[in-house]
Structure 1
Amino acid sequence: MRRLQVVAVLSVVAMLLTGARPGETQAPKQPYRIQSTAVAPVGVSALSGNTGVVEGTVLFSGSVPKRKPLRIETEEEVCLAKPHFDERLIVSARGEVRNVVVSLENPPPGSDPAALGSEFAVHQRNCTFVPHVVLVPVGVPLKVYNHDGILHNFHALGKRNRPFNLAQPKHRKVLQRKFRRPEIVPIKCDVHRWMKAYVVVVDHPFHAITDGEGHFRIEGLPPGRYGLHFWHETLGELEKQVTITAGQVTRIKVTYPAVTEPSY
């Protein structure tokens, strides 16, 4: 009985400190730093009898914002080969949000980011960074391709990682760079001011980026209770607690409140 009382008291204290109730989605907070986990490597498997999966959808509660065309004023023969629209808030007709970074805040010990893969790249096509948000593990080269045959530059504005600015003229088809510390790094091209993107540097594999249907999936989680953190460049940050059961898929939905339209 005494042990149960101690557990109950600790649970109440934890709730008071975090200000959250089980399963509650918290309001955005700023800023966010990708959590560091210095641990020995262990691989991540998909759904098995010993692990579980969390997947879900990120939604937008307001009226679906209309994407505005961008004003292109430089090297139009290349940059205007395809239409350009503001990428900072992409919401489907059903209110599903693209390019939300979903991160596990308390990853299990021994999580190896190598489970995310070995090849990570950003492509510059028609004066656009593709993808707009990309994951890359610490210490793994990020390759940057120039498909346009014109001058670009890859300007990384890190805080925990040293900022750098690399010119990429038309003859330099690919360059690569490593990041040493976890964080979300803004990227831009100074030659074409509308070109912006984000590199999400991680040191464990339990991250995902929502697709065009607002969907994400994180696999290989041991049973237990975890915190999920949601980051979007315009909508800000949310948190949600989830419970993972071995051999099962936990499905959730998270909704961002409406915001005013961003502007350059």
Structure 2
Amino acid sequence: MKNPIFWTLSLLCCAFAFQAQQSLPARPATPVSVPQAVPICGGLAATGNVLENSSSPAPSSSPSPVAGDSGVIRGKVVYEGGEVRKLLNVIKDERTCGADDLVDESLLADANGGIKWAVVSISSEIKGGKSLDELPGDRVLDQSTCVYRPHVLLAGVNQEITINNMDHTLHNVRTASLMNSVVNKVQIYMPNMPHPSDKTTFKEPEVVNVLCDVHGWMKAYVHVVEHPYYAVTAADGSFEIGGVPPGKYTLHVWQEKLGEQDQQVEVTVGQAAEINFSYKTLK
């Protein structure tokens, strides 16, 4: 058995240690680390126990030029005579060409007078901005049910154009212009063979007429251009030219039957300049 003095000293030491611990100041609580938001499947982010929608795209390293350093020109081209819709007189290859009523697109206007197939462009000098590769539309001209589609095509200088015969009949593609070489291609349909197709380019800026000597009513226009600030009007006559550097410009409109007009327009960064053209009723 241990000495009673040993037990007495042991009890005294424990008492002193307990009293010393109780007299110490309270230790602040250890901060809890909160995890950062972590992307998870489905476009959501987890932060603690909360799910947040993070479906918006990440900021682009190269911001859109339209939002940052350019503006937009938009408007309508209108015919004061109201709606115009005439049918073509199909007198040949009715089985292929006359399957549908073919509309005369040389002047086509909706119930509000909106003109389809007018061409709007900036005709004054443009400094900087977009490249010719950003010209709107495709460089493809189809012959379908004996109609050139589209009726009006935009093509840059030296940009390749594909011309297709989608019909089960013969077509002859012939161009008429002042400054470009004549294109004259016979495209013969052959059963069980790929449809005829040719490619061409134009080197000089101008409006090129495209005809078919087999079907005299067939006509299209290729606007050969040097910059991308062009637009072809939609079925309601509306147009929009985007990515335009700020400044004052001359805006030009062309329509094959009604002629040409010019107006002045000023473009401001981040803004849309509204401008409309109106053609008088033909007598």
TM over 0.5: yes
- Residue 81 of structure 1 is matched in structure 2 by 99
Match of 1:205 in 2: 228
Preserved CA contact (<8 Å) 2:136 2:154: no
Shift of 1:82: 1.1
Supply the distance in 2 between the matched residues of 1:117 and 1:221 (Cα, whole angstroms).
Answer: 14
Answer whether contact 1:112 1:203 (CA < 8 A) is retained. no
CA–CA separation in structure 2 for the residues paired with 1:206 and 1:91: 24
- State yes or no: 1:214 paired with 2:233: no
- The residue type equivalent to 1:139 in the other structure is N
- Mind listing any 5+ residue stretches in structure 1 that lack a counterpart? 1-44
Q: What secondary structure is seen at the aligned counterpart in 2 of 1:47?
A: helix
Alpha carbons of structure 1 residues 197 and 183: separation in structure 2 relative to 1, 3 Å = same
1: CA distance between counterparts of 2:244 and 2:82? 35
- Per-residue Cα deviation, 1:80-117 (whole angstroms, up to 9, x for no partner): 11111211100100110111111101242345211126
Q: TM-score, normalised by structure 2?
A: 0.73
Q: In the alignment, what sits opposite 2:265?
A: 242
Supply the AA of the counterpart residue of 1:87.
Answer: E
Task: Give 1:46 shift.
Answer: 5.3
Question: What is the 5 A alignment of 1:42-81?
Answer: 47-65=66-84, 67-81=85-99
Mapped partners of 1:243, 1:154: distance in 2: 41
Aligned pairs, how many? 215
Cα-Cα RMSD = 1.5
Determine the structure 2 residue equivalent to 1:138.
157
Q: Output the CA distance in 1 between the equivalents of 2:276 and 2:136.
A: 27
In 2, Cα distance between the equivalents of 1:180 and 1:115?
18
Report 1:2-151 matches (<5 A): 47-65=66-84, 67-110=85-128, 111-116=130-135, 119-151=138-170
Secondary structure of the structure 1 residue equivalent to 2:69: coil
**1:143 Cα deviation after fit:** 0.5
- With over 3 angstroms needed to count, the CA separation of the structure-2 counterparts of 1:227 and 1:158, relative to structure 1, is same
Query: Measured at CA, do residues 180 and 214 of structure 1 come closer, stay the same or move farther in structure 2, by a change above 3 Å?
Result: same
Q: Which runs of 5+ in 2 are unaligned?
A: 1-63
2:172 is matched with: 153
Identify which of 179, 183, 194 aligns with 1:164: 183
1:170-227 alpha-carbon deviations (Å, 9 max, x no partner): 1452111000011111111010000011011111000011010101111111111000
Give the SS at the match of 2:168.
coil
Greater length-normalized contact order (CA 8 Å, ≥ 6 residues apart): 1
Question: Highest Rg: 1 or 2?
Answer: 2
Q: Deviations over 1:9-50 (max 9, x none)?
A: xxxxxxxxxxxxxxxxxxxxxxxxxxxxxxxxxxxx652221
Aligned equivalent of 1:182, options 184, 196, 205: 205
Q: CA deviation at 1:118?
A: 8.5
User: Residues 92 and 119 from structure 1, CA distance in 2 versus in 1: closer, same or farther, beyond 3 angstroms?
Assistant: closer
Q: Distance in 2 between matches of 1:118 and 1:68?
A: 26
- Partner of 1:48, secondary structure, is helix
* Runs of 4+ in structure 1 over 6 Å off: none
**Residue 227 in 1 paired to residue 250 in 2?**
yes
Residue type matched to 1:104 in 2? I
Q: Secondary structure at 2:276's aligned position in 1?
A: strand
State TM-score, norm by structure 1. Answer: 0.78
